[in-house]
Structure 1
Amino acid sequence: MKKLFFCLFLLTTTVAFVQAQENTAAKLWTAADRQYTIDNMKRTRDELVKETQNLTPAQWAFHESADRWSIGEIVEHLALWEIIWNREISIGVRNKPTPELNASSRPDSYYNEFIMEDAKHNASDYTKPTGFVEGKNNLAFFLRNHAINLAFVETTQADLRAHFEFTGTPNPRNMHQVLIFQWGHVDRHLRQIRKVKTHPNYPK
């Protein structure tokens, strides 16, 4: 675990160094964009805490069926993704700014709608929960990783609408849009957690 946090720290430090090299030209990523992202990251974090902080061990571990994740596993999955978002954004802001790609990027609304669509999304193998993390420790795992990403958004000087992912798709995502996926992903799984709680066999 210490090695994991060291890697996150190293990535964040590298990003900060690169940002210091950026020029001071007018940015596409506005103060309103930053605040919108911060507000939604805090909102989804706080809702996740509210939904899980008082769960019993039995509630953390409850499965609707053998092929469905428990709430603990859902939160572990979110914690793993916080590490992935950190890496994806840190690599993105080290790329040379390419604001011209905004001409072929999808609108922000596309990413909001995609992440919250009703269709099932299949998790990649490396983002599937192990189930080894005990109950409330999943929330601590998530909050630790989320705090790193939130601090980055609050302080970065990078133009997150000018930095893009390396991708071969015709509709590349800028880093602001990656962050929409970040907090939207929490929203999506909050919906899943609330569904678990409505199961007739969910422990009371």
Structure 2
Amino acid sequence: MQRYHTLCLLWLLTSPLLAQTTSLAKLWTETDRQYTLDNLRRTRDLIVQETQNLTPAQWKFKESPDRWNIGEIVEHLALWEIIWAREVSMGSRSKPQPELNQTSKPDSFYATWIMEDSPHVSPDFSRPTGFIEGKNNLAFFLKLREQTIAFVGKTGADMRAQFELAGTDSPRNMHQVYIFQWGHVDRHLRQIRKVKADSGYPTSSH
């Protein structure tokens, strides 16, 4: 009987600690964090690689009057860096809702959608103005991307338990918002390369 009481006492003493440990377990792992950082840095570096040595004429070249030039594409990317940062800021400070992961779409859905070949229509608030000089758009984008990388590296928020505030049947968690963020750059890198492959694209000597 004494042994039984001792076991009960041990259970009572350790079960709150067990419950606390379980409650503190995060869905967003360090592997997830590193994956996000790697892709944020990778897409940042590719934008630099594709644009850092462009001439003014190359920044301004358009395949046709209704298409964006490279300067406008990079301005569009910078505008979205602001939008993503605001969404993550709001979402990461809201009440955690890990249960939503049971019915939300998988990561692969968002990665596939952002990289599909079908055209996406940009909302008015993220359409480029064309007023900023090409190379300044790159500086604009890089400043904002560095802020995001710094935040991802240090945040203690559980990005798979924090969800966007949009009232949808399948909301995105913040990790999936980051997939959209770096995937969006991949999508427009494809567009930049298409501009550069056009037969009328100026050579570096022009």
Question: Which TM-score tier does this pair reach, normalised by the shorter chain?
Answer: 0.7 to 0.9
Alignment correspondent of 1:111: 110
Shift of 1:94: 1.0
Alignment correspondent of 2:80: 81
Alignment correspondent of 2:201: 202
Shift of 1:167: 2.0
Distance (whole Å) between structure 1 residues aligned to residue 73 and residue 138 of structure 2 = 10
Distance (whole Å) between structure 2 residues aligned to residue 66 and residue 167 of structure 1 = 35
Shift of 1:150: 0.8
Amino acid at match of 1:170: D
Alignment correspondent of 2:59: 60
Distance (whole Å) between structure 2 residues aligned to residue 89 and residue 169 of structure 1 = 17
Q: Equivalences for 1:23-102 in 2 at 5 Å? A: 25-102=24-101
Amino acid at match of 1:139: L
Distance (whole Å) between structure 2 residues aligned to residue 172 and residue 137 of structure 1 = 34
Distance (whole Å) between structure 1 residues aligned to residue 142 and residue 180 of structure 2 = 17
Who wins on radius of gyration, i.e. which is larger? 2
Distance (whole Å) between structure 1 residues aligned to residue 101 and residue 76 of structure 2 = 30
Alignment correspondent of 1:149: 148
Structure 2 SS opposite 1:122: coil
Q: Normalized against structure 2, the TM-score is what?
A: 0.87
Alignment correspondent of 1:185: 184
Amino acid at match of 2:201: Y
Deviation digits for residues 143-183 of structure 1 (CA, Å, limit 9, x no counterpart): 00111111110110000000001122111100000000000
Distance (whole Å) between structure 1 residues aligned to residue 165 and residue 128 of structure 2 = 27
Alignment correspondent of 1:168: 167
Amino acid at match of 1:113: T
Structure 2 SS opposite 1:144: helix
Structure 2 SS opposite 1:160: coil
Structure 1 SS opposite 2:191: helix
Alignment correspondent of 1:137: 136
What residue ranges of structure 1 are gaps of 5+ in the alignment?
A: 1-23
Amino acid at match of 1:150: I
Quote the RMSD (CA, aligned, Å): 1.1
Identity %: 68
Instruction: Give 4+ residue runs of structure 1 displaced > 4 Å after superposition.
Output: none
Q: Normalized against structure 1, the TM-score is what?
A: 0.88
Distance (whole Å) between structure 1 residues aligned to residue 47 and residue 166 of structure 2 = 31
Distance (whole Å) between structure 2 residues aligned to residue 159 and residue 128 of structure 1 = 31
Structure 1 SS opposite 2:37: helix
